[in-house]
Structure 1
Amino acid sequence: MSEITLNAPKLFDLSGNVAFVTGAGSGIGQRIAMGLAQCGADVALLDRRTDDGLAKTAEFIAGAGRRSIRIAADVTNGAALNEAVARTEAELGPLALAVNAAGIANASPAEEMEESQFQTMMDINLKGVFLSCQAEARAMLKTGRGSIVNIASMSGVIVNRGLSQCHYNASKAGVIHMTKSMAMEWVGRGIRVNTISPGYTATPMNTRPEMVHQTKLFEEQTPMQRMATVDEMVGPAVFLLSDAASFVTGVDLLVDGGFCCW
């Protein structure tokens, strides 16, 4: 029997890496940013929020003994994203990891939806992910090393019963397939690109007032009979970003409590 040299725990260690997280001021993006710091990464935090969300994330990261910077920017602005990545590398070091979690959700019957509502959804959820990946990859391609995780949704795979959100579903389906396409463009150049598709998750977006009546149905429809917590998205993100997933690219990882099995 050959000697076993694999150090399994080290596979998930992100020490020495610089990460860039969009949507880091709340919800899934905030918790993943915190989790990356707990695994050893320094993290650039980007959000368009004007409240203290980013400050709370940064405070947690400092408590974990890691560095962070806060950047107020809109993911629909390519120039701002390029500047954010440049600042990240100037202040923290070469970019190696990225999580694109910025996004919105709302609902409206397709026949009543205003064009502006549809366009805003696409601009933030799909174009915003594209521009983020583009800025991140431009930096990573210089070193020939990087891993990007885009936050999609199981709504990009299935149609949610009782929710009139064709624009949201389409945006997330676009993220999944766009991610696969970018993964193949960069597969021979050192960059891996994957998606996480959460099921119903207890985020501020999914507990907004107009969704409250749906919460019980969400739990009943999920085989595990509950919604996910934001904490439960950290492990999948760390896995896909880390050396533990060194042979994983172009994958959509469903984290849905079994929802898509039924």
Structure 2
Amino acid sequence: MKLFDLHGEVAIVTGAGSGIGQAIAIGIAEAGADVACFGHRSNGGLDQTAEKIRALGRKTLTFEGTVISAKDLSGAIERIEKQLGPLTIAVNNAGIGAGGEAETLELKSWQRVYDVNVTGVFLSCQAQARVMLPRRKGSIINVASISGSIVNRDLKQADYNSSKAAVIHLSKSLAMEWIGRGVRVNSISPGYTLTPMNRRPEVADQVEIFARDTPMGRLATPEEMIGPAVFLSSRASSFVTGIDLVVDGGFICW
């Protein structure tokens, strides 16, 4: 459907080397956009994502960098605009997991989570909006988590949960600040998802519990985040801004 067609659009996806970020980057390319991939080159994931995008006949660039560096982000966007064209879509997926007893959690651990999950998202949005706002066109999508809306049973992760809550409210705040300037900002909150982290043998028992507690009886695949991302990137969501789109198999209903 033409409403979901992304041909002629240029996107950046942070954390595009694996899991949800990789799936969304490839999915947006499948919908027609040229896609720049930003993140770490560990294990070759970023290059693998780019190869799959090229195989779809779309243009791509890869950038090794960190979202806590405004210089890395602005440099990437400058090159994207020169080589791919005006940036119109941004998916800010880069983030880290965390956890631990709150009463003994070290400040440096807390700060690292907030640096990446909150400050990194803000700096990404800021750099992206600086080129989108003057043109009055753009869709920014921040990947949060159901952990930003609920407290995960039996998981002690006050740092992670509160950081994702911050991403959700940051997205709403930016959406309202830029509401009259042509840039939409939304967030996606995945439920438990079979990312590489959840495929490790040592967490098999925990993953079984996640599946049991999800009303649909299973975890999501990373590819199931593509549809929501394409929707929020496309004309199909032209009247949608400031929402948190929960994709969790019904988890938060219970």
Scaled by the length of structure 1, the TM-score of the pair is 0.95
- The 3-state SS of whatever aligns with 1:226 is coil
Determine if the alignment matches structure 1 residue 151 to structure 2 residue 143: yes
Q: CA–CA distance in 1 between the matches of 2:143 and 2:238?
A: 19
Q: CA–CA distance in 2 between the matches of 1:123 and 1:210?
A: 28
- The 3-state SS of whatever aligns with 1:205 is helix
Q: What root-mean-square deviation, in Å, do the aligned CA atoms of Structure 1 and Structure 2 show? A: 1.0
- The 3-state SS of whatever aligns with 2:154 is coil
The equivalent residue for 1:79 is 71
Count of aligned residue pairs for this structure pair: 254
Determine if the alignment matches structure 1 residue 29 to structure 2 residue 21: yes
Once the two structures are TM-superposed, the CA of residue 208 in structure 1 deviates from its matched residue by: 4.5
- Relative to structure 1, the CA distance from residue 210 to residue 159 in structure 2 (aligned partners, 3 Å threshold; closer, same or farther) is farther
Determine if the alignment matches structure 1 residue 179 to structure 2 residue 171: yes
Determine if the alignment matches structure 1 residue 162 to structure 2 residue 157: no
Conserved? CA contact 2:40–2:46, under 8 Å: no
Q: Would you identify which runs of 4 or more consecutive aligned residues in structure 1 move more than 6 Å?
A: none
- Relative to structure 1, the CA distance from residue 210 to residue 167 in structure 2 (aligned partners, 3 Å threshold; closer, same or farther) is farther
Conserved? CA contact 2:41–2:47, under 8 Å: no
- Relative to structure 1, the CA distance from residue 184 to residue 254 in structure 2 (aligned partners, 3 Å threshold; closer, same or farther) is same
- Relative to structure 1, the CA distance from residue 106 to residue 213 in structure 2 (aligned partners, 3 Å threshold; closer, same or farther) is farther
Q: CA–CA distance in 2 between the matches of 1:199 and 1:18?
A: 27
- Worse-matched range after superposition: 208-217 or 28-37: 208-217
- The 3-state SS of whatever aligns with 1:168 is helix
1:121-136 matches, within 5 Å, as 121-136=113-128
Q: CA–CA distance in 1 between the matches of 2:175 and 2:123?
A: 15
1:199-218 matches, within 5 Å, as 199-208=191-200, 211-218=203-210
Q: CA–CA distance in 2 between the matches of 1:211 and 1:114?
A: 24
- The 3-state SS of whatever aligns with 1:29 is helix
- The 3-state SS of whatever aligns with 1:51 is helix
2:42 is aligned, of 43, 47, 50, to 50
Once the two structures are TM-superposed, the CA of residue 210 in structure 1 deviates from its matched residue by: 5.6
Identity across aligned pairs (percent)?
Answer: 58
Scaled by the length of structure 2, the TM-score of the pair is 0.98
* Cα distance per residue 1:145-181 (max 9 Å; x no partner): 0001000000000000011100000000000000000
